[in-house]
């Protein structure tokens, strides 16, 4: 019984024809021996990399010309699924003829796009995108061995989405510049979260230190802090403030312009509530101390307080004593 009949022939709709062919007939599977590398006057590099999330692993062989760092030949062995075989084979093919530094520029997106039948249709389903990430990582491992440096030295930024290779700094900048509020918007702008979705929120294919939902929460807190700061500085319209910001703004105006005079006369005022009433903002107050029985509390003092609040905050303010 063929594999197509076992799975009903439907799963293949998510794989490109190139991927299906490379699963069964990879062009670069095998190894490069010391003797073969010597015959090319090349340095042999053998690098291993495994993906903890799925248990797949790949071994990459490079024959590198030490005179110009050109990769003369590349082969691989894959210990994993068919997609890992196809991705590794494509990765090896892309390495051939490039310098080691040029190979380092090959990304997992390059690997995935090289396996597409048509430019706009992904070669593999989202949950299999990590296989091309593994192909990208083994290139870094091979390059680090050839150059005699640590693999981490090639990574200059924190990568949040491994599938699309989107960094933390890029995501923060895109979210702020475009005022993004949903994961779907982030994906539209950056492709982060479009593939295996592990970076979206906890509970995905593999654990992350930072998720897209964390960055949205971070940005929302920044916006709230910014609005509060502007409100305190008088730069935000009273009508656009939250109820808490309105209360703080009213208290600030009263503290700076009214309260001290009331205290000098043995009184004070308490802000009870602020309610929108049509186009008006009704501020409910309660007089304290000597002000509670003063005749001017409903005339002169009240008018002065309302006039100052209208001038400082909003012309539609009404002050209502209780």
- Is 95 among the catalytic positions? no
- Burial of 49-74, coded b for 16+ CB within 10 Å and e otherwise, reads bbbebbebbbbbbbbbeeeebbbbbb
What is the tens place of the pLDDT at every residue in 235-246? 678 888 888 888
Looking up tokens 């991705």 gives 87
Mean per-residue pLDDT, 264-272 = 89
What is the tens place of the pLDDT at every residue in 176-226? 878 889 999 998 877 889 888 889 999 987 888 999 999 999 998 887 777
CA 164, CA 192: separation in Å to the nearest integer?
6
Q: What is the dihedral of CA 180, 183, 188, 193, to 10 degrees?
A: 140
Query: Residue 179's pLDDT is what?
Result: 85
Among 79, 82, 76, which Cα is nearest to 60's?
Answer: 76
- Least confident piece of the model among 11-25, 45-59, 168-182, 246-260: 45-59
- Least confident piece of the model among 107-116, 144-153, 157-166, 219-228: 219-228
Identify whether the C-beta of residue 163 lies closer than 8 Å to the C-beta of residue 196: yes
Query: Residue 234's pLDDT is what?
Result: 59
- Of 20, 81, 131, 294, which one is the catalytic site residue? 131
Q: pTM for the complete prediction? A: 0.55
Q: What is the DSSP string of 189-219?
A: HH-TTSSS-TTTSTTSSS--SS-HHHHHHHH
Which listed CATH number (3.30.1370.60, 3.90.1010.10, 3.30.420.40, 3.40.50.720) goes with 3-149? Answer: 3.90.1010.10
**Up-side HSE of residue 15: CA atoms within 13 Å toward CB?**
19
- Is 294 among the catalytic positions? no
Which H/E stretch holds residue 320? strand 317-321
CATH of domain 238-321: 3.30.300.130
Among 113, 100, 36, which Cα is nearest to 70's?
Answer: 100
Alpha carbon 157 to chain centroid, angstroms: 13
């Amino acid at each position: 019984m063929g594999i197509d009949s076992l799975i009903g022939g439907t799963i293949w709709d998510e794989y490109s024809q190139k991927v299906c062919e490379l699963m069964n007939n990879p062009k670069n599977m095998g190894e490069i021996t010391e003797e073969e590398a010597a015959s090319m006057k090349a340095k042999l590099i053998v690098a291993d990399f495994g993906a903890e999330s799925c248990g797949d692993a790949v071994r990459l062989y490079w024959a590198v010309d030490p005179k110009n760092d050109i990769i003369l030949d590349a082969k691989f062995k894959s210990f994993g699924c068919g997609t890992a075989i196809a991705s590794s084979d494509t990765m090896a093919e892309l390495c051939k003829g490039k310098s080691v530094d040029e190979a380092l520029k090959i990304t997992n997106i390059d690997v995935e796009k090289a396996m597409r039948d048509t430019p706009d249709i992904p070669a593999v389903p989202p949950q299999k995108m990590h296989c091309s990430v593994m192909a990208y990582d083994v290139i870094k491992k091979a390059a680090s061995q050839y150059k005699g440096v640590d693999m981490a030295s090639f990574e200059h930024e924190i990568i949040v989405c491994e599938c699309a290779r989107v960094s933390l700094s890029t995501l923060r900048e895109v979210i702020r510049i475009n005022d993004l509020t949903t994961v779907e918007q982030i994906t539209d702008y950056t492709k982060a979260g479009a593939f295996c979705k592990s970076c979206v929120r906890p509970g995905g294919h593999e654990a992350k230190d930072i998720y897209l939902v964390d960055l949205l929460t971070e940005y929302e807190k920044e916006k709230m802090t910014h609005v509060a700061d502007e409100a305190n500085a008088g730069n935000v319209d009273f009508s656009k403030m939250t109820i808490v910001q309105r209360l703080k703004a009213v208290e600030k105006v009263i503290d700076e312009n009214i309260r001290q005079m009331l205290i000098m006369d043995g009184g004070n005022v308490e802000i009870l509530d602020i309610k929108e009433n049509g186009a008006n903002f009704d501020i409910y107050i309660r007089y304290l101390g000597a002000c509670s029985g003063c005749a001017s509390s409903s005339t002169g003092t009240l008018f002065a307080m309302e006039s100052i609040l209208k001038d400082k905050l909003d012309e539609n303010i009404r002050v209502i004593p209780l």
